[in-house]
Structures are given as C-alpha cells and as structure tokens.
Amino acid sequence: MRNTSLKFQTVPAAGPNFHPEKSAGSNLPTSLTLAAMSLGYGVVQLDVTIVNTALNAIGTSLGGGVAELQWVVSAYTIAFAAFILTAGALGDRIGAKQVFMAGFAIFTAASVACALASNAAILIAARSMQGLGAAILVPNSLALLSHAYPDEKQRGRAVGIWAAGASFALISGPLLGGALIALVGWRSIFLVNLPIGLAGLWLSWRYASETTRSPQREIDLPGQVAAIAALGCLAGAIIEGGTLGWRHPFVIAAFAASAVLAMLFVLRERRAPQPMLPLSLFGHRLFALTSLVGLLVNVAFYGLIFVFSLYFQHINGLSPFATGLAFLPMMGAVLPVNLVAARVAERIGAPATIALGAALSAFGCLALLGIEPGTSYWAIGAQLAIIGGGLGLLVPPLTSTLLGSVEKARSGIAAGVLNATRQTGSVLGVALFGSLAGQPGAFMAGAHASLVISACLLLAAGAAIWRGASTPEGGTARP
C-alpha cells in the first residue's frame, strides 16, 4: 500500500472531530495486521515442509534411524492436529490477539530450542512445542483477519492473500531448507523462524486490534486430553510397529489404548455442553465426506513427501539443496492450479473437481511404481508434478464445499475441523509410510507399497465425494 502522497497533503485544521491518526492513512494498521497474520500462517506452513530436506542431516548429526526421523516430523503435526480446535475456542474466550501473540512466542521459542537441540529426544520435544504454537496461530489469525476486515468483499481478498502467502511458504520450504542446509547447516532451518517470529509479534502488538471476548465459551479439557492421547498412541503404534514389529507387546498395547481413548473422546464430545468437536456437524453428509477426503489426501501426500525425502537423500545420495530442487515440480504445481481450481469447479461442480484432482494425483502415484535406486530424475519429475497438481486442484473446492455444507455461524469450527483432520492425515501418512519404508533392506518395497496405498486412498476419496454428492441429501448441501 502506497502512502507516499500523504507527506504532501495539507493538514486540516484541528477541530473537535479531527483525528490525525485516522486522516493519515487509516488502512495502514489493517494492512499491517494482514501482514502479521500472513507471517503467522506462512511460518506454520513453512515448517510443514522445510524439515523434510533436513532429515538426512538431522539423522547423521543426532543419530537414530527412520523411527526417530518420523517422530521429528510427526511430533509437530500431532500437536498441530490435537490442539487446533481448543486454540480457536481459547481465542474466543480471552481474545484472539493475545492468544495469537502467545502462539507466535511459543512457536519462535520452540524454533530456537529445535536449533539448539543436542539429541533427538530434545528435538522431538521442541518440535511438539512448535506444533502447539502452530495450532494456536492458524485459527486465531483467521479470527483477527475477520475482525480487521468487517466488509465481506475486502475480507475475502484478505483471506486470499493470507492463503497465497502460506501456499508460497509451503512451496518454498524444501528449496529454502536445502539452500540453508548447504550453506549453514540443518539448525539454520529453525533459526530462520526467529526474525519472522519477532516481526510477526511486533506487528501484531502494534497494529492488530483485539477481538470481542466471550467468557461463556468453555474449554473442553477432558476432550482435549483424550484427543492428544488417542492420536499420540495411534501414531506411536504405527511408527514403532515398523521398528519393533507389529506383534510387539508395546505396539499392541498402543493400538488398544488409542482405540479406547478414541471411544472415550467420542463419548465425551457427545455429552459435553460445549464440545471441542461438535459431532452434530458430521450429520451433514458433505461435511463428513469432505472431512474424510481431507484426511485421506493428506495421508497420501505428506506420507509420500517423507518417503521421497529419504529416497532422494538416502538412496540416490542427493544433497539437501538438490532434494529441495527435486521437490520443486510437486510443490510448484500446487499454487498455479489453486488459482484455476475455482473456474474448473464453476464449470463441472465442486465434487467433480475434487474427484478429478484426486484421480490425477492417484495416476501420478501409479506412474511412479517403476522407480528404483538410481532412477533418473527426468523419469519421475512429471509424475511428481501431476501429484502436486491434483492436490492443488482439489483443495480449494474441498474447503469451499465443507464451509458451504454448514451454517455460516459454524464456519469457524468447520474450518478448524478440516485443518484438524488434514493434520491427522499427515501424522498417519508419515507414521505408516515411514514404517513401511523403514524396514531393514526393504526401502524400495516400502516405497512401492506407499505409492499403491496412496493411489487407493486417493481413488477412494474421489469416489466417496463423487458418489456422496450425487445423492439427494448430498446435493441439497452443495454450496
């Protein structure tokens, strides 16, 4: 936003209704609030992908095998998925600004702790704190944007900028991470969050205005505890199952615990006066279907990113920077296809667009089944781009369909559920595919199995949304 002309304006005479701070560019605080919110969401998305290029360097520096690397990635997404709904409720209760700033402070401090970690256990613990900070940042950044832009048209544009910045961060993560590791070392990928965090904190403190507090909004602590424990036990069972064996007593006990905790979570949410996850939302057919699609798609996409990070570095011996370049077609295809997805959805309908995107990504997975150690990158680059393009095509209509399937008053919690289910999918994808590929001497067999599973999940997701939307009940809920 340009304000240079303000320097040459004649200052009006002072009067009882004269407010110089408003006359001197009243939109500047709003624009800088948008900048702060974009930094918050952007740094969250950056850390979703930037760590993958550092897996080999982290493993070499701190020791440990594939299971430890799975925990480095999954600790972040477990906390992200488990806390995001409660974080939004907390912002409603005590004000989104102070909660958002607390999230930025936690994320930034945890990033420094990651950079200073002396062993894998400390790094995993710090990554979980990063995930907590991420869970706080995302819903409250949207709440502050909604507060800063009361006009619906302007708010729509602001959210578009907010989302585009996050997409750019997601895309640039592998490349930026590879460059930083090559020039400085793997610890630098966490230290890069320090200036971003400090800038975001200052802009939020200086320009964001606090939202209306709702003291009557309750925090569902029992539901929160059950959700964290259930997801953590499930991820632990899958990760450790690849190392200890699926019949190991610890693995069996973890699976059993996750099932019991999941049932307790559902029972709690059914009875809670203000549940963390309102189960009534799943009475909307399209809401349930789009949530399922978000889960399945992220299992495939982020699980494959983890596997291919190991493939490029462990199997083909690429440097971190070369690995970042290798991911560029996949990540780079997401943003431009995002921009045309809305037009495609207008022509053929949102469910058909989602199904088409899922089918494209599934085709890309099946086309990669011939991959072997030493396979030329030119033989797989197009397939990676197709996978990314399919994801870019389905996510915008997926989000709009989910939000349009519920009442507007519940759109905030609906968006939170979509984020939670997608992050849960990321946890399960990394855990499952990492366990398959982490078997001694069986990396390529695990990689091929991961591709087949991904294709099946994507095709199932596309079929579910296509079939569900074609029913009378599904059709009436279409946005």
User: Tokens at residue 309, please?
Assistant: 């990070």
Nearest to 257 by CA among 228, 296, 279: 228
- Residue 476, pLDDT score: 37
State the DSSP H helix or E strand holding residue 461, giving kind and residue range, or none if neither. helix 443-470
Instruction: Please determine, looking at this structure, whether the domain spanning 28-211 carries the CATH number 1.20.1250.20.
Output: yes
- Residue 453, pLDDT score: 97
User: Tokens at residue 230, please?
Assistant: 């259930």
144 vs 133, more confident: 133
- Residue 171, pLDDT score: 81
Domain boundaries, the chain: 28-211, 221-273, 281-479
Mean pLDDT lowest among 176-185, 272-281, 400-409, 433-442: 400-409
Q: What is the mean pLDDT of residues 130-148?
A: 87
Residue 5 has pLDDT above 90, yes or no: no
96 vs 387, more confident: 387
- Residue 161 burial class via C-beta count within 10 angstroms: exposed 0-12, middle 13-18, buried 19 and up: middle
Asked if domains 28-211 and 281-479 share a fold, the reply is yes
Q: Which CATH architecture does the domain made up of 281-479 adopt?
A: Up-down Bundle (1.20)
* In contact, 397 and 426? CB cutoff 8 Å: no
User: Tokens at residue 196, please?
Assistant: 């971003």
- Residue 405, pLDDT score: 76
Q: What is the mean pLDDT of residues 204-233?
A: 87
Percent of the chain with pLDDT over 90: 43
What phi and psi, each to the nearest 5 degrees, are found at residue 193? -75, -20
pLDDT (tens digit, 9 = 90+) per residue, 151-192? 767 776 787 788 777 778 888 888 899 899 989 999 999 999
- Residue 127, pLDDT score: 96
| Mean pLDDT across the chain | 85
> CA-to-CA distance for 168 and 423, rounded, in angstroms?
19
Strand, coil or helix: 119: coil
335 vs 369, more confident: 369
Band the pLDDT of 86: cuts 50, 70, 90: confident
Percent of the chain with pLDDT over 70: 91
